Amino acid sequence: MKKPLIVLPAFNEARHIGLLLESLHLCRERTIVVNDGCTDETAEIVLNNGFRIVNHDVNQGLSAVYNTAAQFAKSNGFEHLIMLDGDGQHDVVHIEAFEKLLENYDLVTGIRFAQTAHIPSSKIASNLFAILLFRHITGELIPDVSCGFKGFRIDKIIDSFNDCNGFEVIYSILLHAVHQKIPVAYVNMKALYPVQTFYSTRTTELLGLLNACKKYSSDPILWEIEKRVLTSDSFKVELNDFEIDAVAGLNEYVFKTDETRARHFLQTIN
């Protein structure tokens, strides 16, 4: 199998992307950065480090980045690609494990919750919400539905994001795999969360989750939550015996739940 194309989505990642590119220097010839309309020095840093860049004139969102990456890969003879965040949250040491699994699987995704001590409480609650919502509408318990570290065979997965917008693609890929009965392989990994950083869930990301789910399910809970989100209202749901509160802010939500139970549950399913 030809080694996959490595893709870094980037939107104003000048603070982080230099160190990430240094760690990928051995993979430079098969790595691209998709510049999603950056207005900072990201593009200059990429070029100065000798990496290829594909530019969007304006910010189009993550789904557009996936489409651009897939088209570039196909045009350059790649059958597989690996996508990881451009902000340095994902450790490139895991790329080798993704490549090995892609020899036998059409979709590989990272899972971040085998150990949860380093993960902020708001991230625990928001990811629990997404995992349990997936389980509610599909019956499948996927250990991590929101991880952006993914690898896949392009011709098997591309149909899942052709009509996606924004963050929707992250969830649509997994829903497509469940619907098409595509086996998924997992790589245990540690996401790198800077200490003393406040984490919330952007409203656009939450709508991406709901939009993806609505393509595969007509469950009323999706429309009930969407109605709240579109009016920037807080909401509360009960999923799998967990009560989850989503507190609305300015274009964002902060999720809360029983943290001790949630950490134990996530570690158990990982």
Whether the predicted pLDDT of 89 surpasses 90: no
Kindly report which listed range (143-152, 155-164, 180-189, 231-240) carries the lowest average pLDDT score. Answer: 155-164
* pLDDT in the model for residue 198: 77
**Average model confidence (pLDDT) for the chain?**
95
Q: Which residue has the higher pLDDT, 209 or 193?
A: 209
Q: What is the pLDDT of residues 205-246, one digit of tens each?
A: 999 999 999 999 999 999 999 999 999 999 999 999 999 999
**Confidence at residue 119, expressed as pLDDT on a 0 to 100 scale:** 87
Predicted confidence band of residue 115 (pLDDT cuts 50, 70, 90): confident
First to last CA, the chain: 29
- Give the model's pLDDT for residue 92: 94
More confident of the two residues 79 and 193 = 79
The DSSP element (H or E) to which 185 belongs, if any, is strand 184-188
pLDDT at residue 194, rounded to an integer: 64
Residue partners of 91: CB distance under 8 A and separation at least 6:
189, 190, 192
Q: Which of 21, 105, 30 is nearest to 72 (CA)?
A: 30
Q: Which has more confidence, 12 or 199? A: 12
pTM: 0.94
How far is 155 from 178, CA to CA, in rounded Å? 16
pLDDT at 192: 73
- Give 125's pLDDT tier (boundaries 50, 70, 90): very high
Measuring CA to CA, which residue among 269, 232, 230, 224 is closest to residue 249? 232
Give dist(CA 170, CA 165) in Å, integer.
Answer: 10
CB of 208 closer than 8 Å to CB of 170: yes
Nearest CA-CA partner of 217 in 105, 111, 124, 138: 138
Q: Which amino acid is at 93?
A: V
**What are the tens digits of pLDDT across the range 18-65?**
999 999 999 999 999 999 999 999 999 999 999 999 999 999 999 999
pLDDT score for 166: 93
